[in-house]
Structure 1
Amino acid sequence: MVPEKSQGKLLQATTGAVGSDSKGKVGDKVLLPEYGGTKVALDDKDYFLFRGGDLLGKHVD
């Protein structure tokens, strides 16, 4: 077992776009690692780009 303080945070996000080779779709809820991705600012909003392999999983309600 790993103490909670030693575990990384999991972040949840909603996909805004997916690549043509992706199995996901726009609007999917996904789990992301605490670190990674590329930050992009568009129209005063921050977005993060992740590769499909960086996604930890799909969140299902």
Structure 2
Amino acid sequence: MAKVIITQTRSTIDRPEKQKRTIQALGLGKINRSVEVELTPQIAGMIDKVNHLVSVKEA
């Protein structure tokens, strides 16, 4: 599987609880925090739900 680097670019303040939990599940939580993960269908779905809060690059 391909690896991607996910970086949180926007705050979760005033966002729905589901989006806050998705950010936490991705291993993020603070602006400019990054994680490198395998791009599985589950991770791709999570990224799609919070794509307005994160940026994604191929690793």
Please say whether Structure 1 and Structure 2 have the same fold, judged by a TM-score greater than 0.5: no
Q: TM-score scaled by structure 1?
A: 0.35
Q: TM-score scaled by structure 2?
A: 0.35
Q: Which structure has the higher relative contact order (CA within 8 Å, separation 6+)?
A: 2
Higher strand share: 1
